[in-house]
Amino acid sequence: MNAAQHVTTLGQSLWLDNLSRSLIRDGTLAGLIAESGVSGVTSNPSIFQNALATSPYYADDLARLKAGELDAEQRYEALVIPDIQAACDLLLPTFEASGGNDGYVSLEVAPRWAYDAAQTVAEAQRLSAAVDRRNLLVKVPGTPEGLNAFEALTTLGINVNVTLLFSVAQCQAAFDAYIRGLAARAAAGADVRRSKAVASLFLSRVDTLVDKQLTAIGTQEALSLRGRAAVAMAKLAYQAYLQTFHGDAFAALAQQGATPQYLLWASTGVKNPDYADLLYVEPLIGAETINTLPDKTLAALVDHGKAALTLEAGTDEAAAQLAALAHLGVSMDAVGERLQVDGVGSFEASFVKLLEQTA
């Protein structure tokens, strides 16, 4: 048993933060599912932009599509929806074996709708119908408008990956939206047992921004806190998860068979080469969580990772670290708000480039 497989025995799911036709047709994804414990896949506009630019398997289909009357976005969907469906099919045995708790593939609503709740709901419904797979998660951003859409989609029975979360407060807002949506669904007499949602908390981007602020402050105390904010934040987000979904707020829904909204660690590839390559993996292993890993990070975990239950260790220290940041004037809520806006902009820029490839 390699370290990745060991992690999954500790109650954490490992999803691959990548998808392309090459991974599917070359058998790479099937191999990762069989040999490295991968039990899900996440995608985003940046991932598909890279896939279309580097995989040889799109050229013929793209040429055929360009000869037709579809617009650039319709061509993009015609290319990637079959990939999503194929990944869903590969993971269907995982989905069924887990009773619908794992084995999901995520597809993102176009980023330009991040601040339009009604359009996000409409697009999520359309994409869900187009993919037509039980183990699809539609990705919706954790903006205020996105969370309104998420609540409505949960009420409708559409399963969602809430993406672009960068703070404990944003995670809590997502948890609350999920509970409201489930409660409305239950009140309408609908079945909540098949509802599924995850909350994707981005990590490396947090450290990149916080480290920049700490370097600018320049004191010994500030410099000593670099590279520690994201893991501390994640540990406290997990405490918020436990209090929310293993407490009174969720008890009635749990009795009806509803499942919690698991936290998903996203942006787990280390951006600072001075940091350990598994900085956002080894300290954050715990039950009822997901870590979505880029290929390189997954390979590092398999090669030299250490699997142990670590997520609930050092919670007091994590709280002290965030308190120290606040004392220095670094507001994690402000960091989260800024990174969410930047994240929407980054995905939107990638989506524009993606559509240029299919134009």
Residue with tokens 């013929």: 60
Tokens of 311: 């997520």
Question: Rounded to whole angstroms, how far apart are CA atoms 137 and 263?
Answer: 14
The question of whether 139 is a catalytic residue gets the answer yes
Q: Of these residues, 66, 139, 235, 353, which one is catalytic?
A: 139
Question: Rounded to whole angstroms, how far apart are CA atoms 123 and 15?
Answer: 24
List active site positions. 139
